[in-house]
Structure 1
Amino acid sequence: MPPWKRWYKTARWQALRIEIFVRDLFTCQCGCGVIEGDTSKLVCDHKIPHRGDERLFWDKTNLQTLLKTCHDRDKQKAEQSSLHTRGVWH
């Protein structure tokens, strides 16, 4: 397991995650504007993928609140659109 995966289990991440939700007023930032008080349905998303870069991982300006459904849908869309660049179609 990459070392950065452990960062998600830390108290520091859990506190930062809630801080971002509060900052964003528990509102999805994808554009749908849905407000969700149940934090199990929210994701603290990295706008720019950190890819193990500790500075990007903890950067509050790189974090946003997304509904889990929006996060998963958009992430899936991005991954599907990059299949050709990852060698799947070659």
Structure 2
Amino acid sequence: MKLKTLKPTLRTVGPAVRTMGQTWRTSGMTTTERGYGYRWQKARARFLRNNPLCVYCERAGRVELATVVDHIVPHRGNPEIFWDESRWQSLCKPCHDVTKAREERGSPTHQGIGTDGWPVDPGASTDYPPQGGPSRLRQGRGS
């Protein structure tokens, strides 16, 4: 008996699917082409030397070494904003990857935590932002 070929059940979607605009991840540009070359590496190292602690962790009452220099306001390729050190902040990698990303998406950073990084209820304990290992609890701002 001869086998029948099955007809495809999937059709192309065509223009119904919108793609995201080009981002730094999809642009194919190197870090140097995006402005993060030798000059940036030197400026970054100097900034972290002068500002060694994560500002988000400091606000939460923890001491954490910063490893990332973050542009407080996204520069979107504008060299004037990119090189303005008054618009930089030192962050640890977890704060940069989790907390900062949530802020930029406009998502709440953590229930009970204000946008300034402090608990909305000053008497509340928090282990914000999420860190690896055991939770580090802090009793309000003044403790």
Q: Same fold (TM over 0.5)?
A: yes
For residues 22-81 of structure 1, what are the alpha-carbon distances to aligned partners after superposition, in whole Å with 9 as ceiling and x for unaligned?
A: 111x10011244242xxxx71100011111111010111111110010111112322152
Q: Distance in 2 between matches of 1:35 and 1:77?
A: 20
What's 2:41 paired with? Answer: 14
Which amino acid is 2:97 matched to? Answer: D
Asked if structure 2 preserves the Cα contact closer than 8 Å seen for 1:21 and 1:65, the reply is yes
Q: Distance in 2 between matches of 1:12 and 1:55?
A: 14
Which amino acid is 1:42 matched to? Answer: T
Percent sequence identity over aligned pairs = 34
Report the structure number with the largest CA radius of gyration. Answer: 2
Unaligned runs of 5+ in 2: 1-26, 109-143
TM-score, with structure 1 as normaliser: 0.70
Structure number with the bigger relative contact order (C-alpha 8 A, sep ≥ 6) is 1
Which amino acid is 2:35 matched to? Answer: W
Q: Distance in 2 between matches of 1:76 and 1:46?
A: 12
**1:29 paired residue among 32, 55, 59:** 55
Instruction: Give the 3 Å change call, closer, same or farther, for CA 4–29 of structure 1 in structure 2.
Output: farther
The structure 1 segments of at least 4 consecutive aligned residues displaced by more than 4 Å after TM superposition are 2-5
* Structure 1 SS opposite 2:55: coil
Instruction: Give the 3 Å change call, closer, same or farther, for CA 62–80 of structure 1 in structure 2.
Output: closer
Asked if structure 2 preserves the Cα contact closer than 8 Å seen for 1:4 and 1:52, the reply is no
* Structure 2 SS opposite 1:50: coil
Which amino acid is 1:34 matched to? Answer: V
